[in-house]
Structure 1
Amino acid sequence: MIEAHALTKRYGGRTAVDRLTFTVRPGRVTGFLGPNGAGKSTTLRVVLGLDTPTSGTVTVAGRPYAELPAPLRTVGSLLDAGGTHSGRTARHHLAGLAASNSIPRGRVDDVLDLTGLTDVADHRVKGFSLGMNQRLGIAAALLGDPEILLLDEPVNGLDTEGVRWIRTLLRTLATQGRTVFLSSHLMSEMELTADHVIVIGRGRLLADTTVRDFIEANSQAHTLVRSPEPERLRGLLEARGATVRPEARGGWRVDGPDAATIGDLARDHGLALHELTPARSSLEDVYTALAGGASEFRTQERQEATR
């Protein structure tokens, strides 16, 4: 378990983390979300004892990280997959970590196999791709068979197969009763992986709830509509006060009138419909709406949309 209470971190006159209180519990995958500059990386660094909080407390398995007798056996972490010495092989890198933490040498082979690196175990890291470096970082995090995993952007650089693999791995570890704390900007993947989300913006807590409840509490019902006469349909809908936006798969996303009203409107004007699907917001939709106002860096399009 990871517990933070009134956690605050300031750098000079800037507050990166502002009285943040949350608990990351075992047995589930907890997503850590927030826009760039929200304070996620600072929070993770404070959890791992890399930065000292200005005030407040954070404990890992009931203790500050610096007081853990065997850190790698308690917490496995990945903050920067590129931090490995490029002249070492993957096996030597992991063997050094194992020796320094009194972890049996056989565990090195276990995590190399688990992360799909066995065939390149004796290759120097400088020849690794971004995805291979990411797998090595995950192997290091798993080396001590820890009860807690803390991972920052673990799918970064992974191909589709790798993304599916890490999703399955994290969910499996959670079902074993471990604590999994996961930071990512990929909302679609987070929706598939996480059970719970902690959302922050400008260092402050915005939400701490299950993924399902987060979506249901903040989403808006809408309708996906496709027609062979899209512009005519759009004109009719906007004349009725609907908000009409392009949908990623084609067609329109319509906010306002429900599906039955849209169907009746199309019928009354002799307009064919190829799709008329009631829908609710995705995690990405809800997160963007909630966190957009708390983002340190905002695009011109978002600024105009929130005026």
Structure 2
Amino acid sequence: MKKILFVCLMMGLAFVTGCSAGSNEDKEQSVDVKESQELKQQISTESIDFSSLEGFQTLQNDKITHIHGIGYPNSDSGLFIATHHGLKVYSDHLWFETKQNNHDYMGFQATQEGFFSSGHPEQGSDLKNPLGLQFSDDFGQTLEQVNFYGESDFHYMAASYESNQIYVVNEQPNSKIGTGLFFSKDGKDWIQSKLSGLPAVSANNLGVHPNLGHIVGLSTPKGLYLSHDNGDTFSLFSEEVPVYAFVLKENSILYVMENKGKFKLVEQPLESDDLTDRKLPELAGNEVITNVAISPNDEKEISIATNNGSVWISLDNGENWTSIIEAGKITTHHQS
């Protein structure tokens, strides 16, 4: 499980000026739906055959541990799982893994064109440690150095799936940026977010609208906070209850909240307070959902990962769930 990100109290992040008690303010300006629809591109539903890619092989064992992120890069239907030992892929009920670049992907964010990553190089690699910000457009077979190579390890990052605007939390100053939340549209030039309106508590997750990069959210023990101005100002979007993993959709947010000691998966429109309950699989007593991802080809396909190394997939908006990893062990068929 990722360590908890402390927005205002820990890690030396420059989040001081924006910290204030959470309040149920009026919602920010509504999403520009027309702009969203204009930016939205046609997504291919053709699935990649990973057995035909030179950089992939069938999964070699039944264990997948230290899950740091999940997602669907390159508009493909395969679910990628970023781990301490490289990338694992669940596609068409089969399991694959990368032959090389089996790095410790502490940060991972899928996009329409590929994925952003960060972390530490695998043992025996001649790459500098840490990796800085990397990008791959070929499912991780090759990596491009975007920025901060050899300087920073970003455990927390999020990007707009279609516009590629990316946010990172920098815990230690480097030669280009200080500590805090920063965003960039090209990976080269970075601007620090002001973070006004956030409560002085820890934050659990960071997320960005799929095609409107200026809309960014932060989940906290006091609720889900949303910004419409690149993270400069936030307001409370959810009820003032603990919110954990979440994912922004075009017109709504799917998030995990805690209600009277129990976890609930709910969907809330960006422009209203109405909640729709989605079912969750039965989780262990101390299990927490750390990641939520939605397929770019079918928004009814939801994937979740938990702090004990379990991964579940639903193909019908949460009505039914299939376990593909249980406590670090594969529960579905894979080739050997």
Q: TM-score, normalised by structure 2?
A: 0.29
Higher RCO, 1 or 2 (CA under 8 Å, sep at least 6)?
A: 1
Greater C-alpha radius of gyration: 1
- Between Structure 1 and Structure 2, which shows a larger proportion of helix residues? 1
